């Protein structure tokens, strides 16, 4: 089984872990409703993509209407 010959120093360990950062995806505003969303995906709020309706979004009922 592979075992490291020498202990990794604190600085080398921190340099190695510096590459693990998670980057946020590129966000852009929806041209129809203006809510931020991921590029090249249908809008999660209005369901449009490239000016066309691609997903039928159900509207949430408020508690007062029930």
For the record, the structure tokens of 40 come out as 């090249």
For the record, the structure tokens of 6 come out as 């020498």
Angle at 48 between CA 39 and CA 60, to 5 degrees: 110
20 phi/psi in degrees, rounded to 5 = -85, 0
State how far the Cα of 47 lies from the Cα of 55, in Å rounded to an integer.
5
Residue 65: the pLDDT is 65
pLDDT digits (tens, 9 = 90+) for 22-50: 888 889 999 888 999 998 999 988 889 99
């Amino acid at each position: 089984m592979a075992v490291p010959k020498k202990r990794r120093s604190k600085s080398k360990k921190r340099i190695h872990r510096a590459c693990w950062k998670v980057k946020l995806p590129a966000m852009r505003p929806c041209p129809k409703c203006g809510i931020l969303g991921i590029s090249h995906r249908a809008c999660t709020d209005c369901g449009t993509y490239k000016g066309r309706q691609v997903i039928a979004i159900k509207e949430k009922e408020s508690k007062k209407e029930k």
